[in-house]
Amino acid sequence: MKAHILILLLLVVTFSFCDECKLKLNKEYPEPEEQVDVKEIAALVVKTINETYVQKGEFVRRDAHPKAHGCPRAIFKVLDNIPSEFRHGIFTNSSQSYKAYIRFSNGSPSVNHDLRPDSRGFALKLLGVHGKKLLEDEQDATTQDFVGANKPEFFLSTTSDYLTFFKMVRRGGLDLIKWLIGGQKFREVNAARKFIFTVIGNVLSTQYFSATPYRLGPEVTVKWSVQPVDCYTGVPVSDRLPGMSNDYLTERLKESLNAEETCFDFLVQKQENACEQPMEDPVTEWTTPFVRLARITVPVQELDQSEEGKLFCENLSFSPWHSLEAHQPLGNVNRARKVVYRATSSFRHAQNHEPRVEPKEW
Ligand code: HEM
Ligand SMILES: *[C@@H]1O[C@H](CO)[C@@H](O)[C@H](O)[C@H]1NC(C)=O
Ligand SMILES: *[C@@H]1O[C@H](CO)[C@@H](O)[C@H](O)[C@H]1NC(C)=O
Ligand SMILES: *[C@@H]1O[C@H](CO)[C@@H](O)[C@H](O)[C@H]1NC(C)=O
């Protein structure tokens, strides 16, 4: 009996060694052919918005996240005494504050009733951030963006899956199901269920996540999150029940902005083990502890819902690559976003005859 247990133990130990993972911390693992897929995704996305809007003579919206719930102003303030390993880029100087805009949005390609299950986007743009930026043709821009959504796991782990998914969705349900089942995409289906089908009560009381990894200085890799908190006590705020009207998220945002200031904590979690917190697979949630680095305050304000106000919101271009090198986006999904976001933003601005310029002040 004892011998059996010993053998079993030996087997377990041997297998866990065989399974030893060779991935290194802070290291990306690009696939040789991935830029081919990336170019194809960008072309498909542009083709889609061309067919959806331009050819019908309509104002061109984003391919994903086309419904803005609003673009309030915010202030992003670095906390005092953050651990020295995180003092890079915008976090270099204690107590430094930046003016910012946040664009809250739906996730799916169409503008829907707010009760329809969807993912929700959080796009933060800090202003007055000096230093060379990563987009080759926007190196002098003074903005730093953080683009996330309301779930910690993205639902596609690779660029080639995104490409197939994109094609399948447009081709119709049956092909999509065949691909998911045939390819045994069970992890993705489960993540998609969580990522795409959420209903929220208020965009200001929802937590958002980067889902994908970023540099924080040359030696640390993190994912970030923004958590709604009470401005005075710092205690996390829970979301309220959904509303009924078509645009209740905008209506409630407007009410909240009129009533009192609201806050989020900006948190990061580190990659500590490159196998448990993989760089190239945003379907895997990281479970390392979150550390607070900054406070986002959304001051009392009037949400501008005039035609001009709405146009301002559509006119903004967010990209994880509007970034200092110290916050470089990492992993295959982020590498794809560099090309895709730029291509679609350029196309829609050109078609809408709007200049594509980063905002400087508010
Ligand atoms: C390969 C992966 C991805 C592709 C191809 C993709 C594609 C796009 C596209 C085409 C847009 C519209 C950009 C524009 O016209 O300005 C967009 C916007 C957006 N995406 Fe993604 N996306 C990807 C991954 C992600 C991930 C992982 C997240 C969050 C966790 C995310 C969150 C957002 C948000 C919040 C916006 C709206 C930004 C705004 O308000 O302007 N995306 N995405
Ligand atoms: C958009 O559609 C028009 C009309 O079909 C076509 O001439 C044009 O080349 C398309 N543009 C892009 C970038 O696909
Ligand atoms: C931090 O403060 C120093 C000294 O005031 C300044 O030179 C530097 O530009 C600041 N860094 C950032 C990232 O703003
Ligand atoms: C769009 O953005 C550009 C650059 O910030 C600005 O010049 C233009 O006036 C904006 N248009 C609207 C309608 O806000």
* pLDDT tens digits along 241-284: 999 999 999 999 999 999 999 999 999 999 999 999 999 999 99
> In the predicted model, is pLDDT for residue 116 greater than 70?
yes
The closest-lying atom of ligand 4 relative to the alpha carbon of residue 308 is: 13
Per-residue model confidence (pLDDT) at position 19: 59
Q: Which residues line ligand 4 (CB under 6 A)?
A: 308, 311-312, 315, 354-355, 357, 359
Mean pLDDT throughout 183-209? Answer: 91
* Structural contact between residues 101 and 71, judged by C-beta atoms closer than 8 angstroms: yes
From first CA to last CA, the distance across the chain in angstroms is 75
Mutate to test the pocket of ligand 1, among 285, 337, 344, 354 (most ligand atoms within 8 A of CB): 337
Both structure tokens of 18: 């065989």
Average model confidence (pLDDT) for the chain? 93
The protein residue whose alpha carbon is closest to atom 2 in ligand 2 is 50
Is residue 48 within 6 Å of ligand 3 at its C-beta?
no
Ligand 1 atom index nearest CA of 147:
35
Architecture per CATH, 26-351: Beta Barrel (2.40)
**Segment 84-107, tens digit of pLDDT:** 999 999 999 999 999 999 999 999
pLDDT for 12 beyond 60: no
Instruction: Considering every ligand atom shown, identify the ligand nearest to the alpha carbon of residue 315 and give its number.
Output: 4
- Is 54's C-beta closer than 6 angstroms to any atom of ligand 2? yes
Residues 292-304 have pLDDT tens digits of: 999 999 999 999 9
Ligand 2 touching residue 46 (CB < 6 A)? yes
In the block, tokens 């990306």 appear at: 28
Q: Calculate mean pLDDT across residues 47-52.
A: 95
For 253, half-sphere exposure in the C-beta direction (CA atoms, 13 angstrom radius) is 23
**Within a 13 Å sphere around the CA of 11, how many CA atoms are in the beta-carbon half?**
6
The stretch 50-62 carries a mean pLDDT of 96
Q: Whose CA is nearest to atom 10 of ligand 3?
A: 93
Residue ranges per structural domain of the chain: 26-351
Residue from 88, 145, 164, 154 nearest 119 by CA: 154
Ligand closest to 90 (CA) is 3
Q: Are 294 and 78 in contact (CB under 8 A)?
A: yes
The pTM assigned to this predicted structure is: 0.93
Q: Which atom of ligand 4 is nearest to the CA of 359?
A: 5
Alpha carbon distance 121, 195 (integer Å): 11
Query: What is the distance between the alpha carbons of residues 50 and 241, in angstroms, rounded to a whole number?
Result: 37
- Indicate if ligand 1 lies below 6 Å from the C-beta of 124: no
Give the pLDDT confidence score for residue 166 in this predicted structure: 83
Q: How far is CA 309 from each of CA 195, 211, 299, rounded to the nearest angstrom?
A: 29, 30, 17
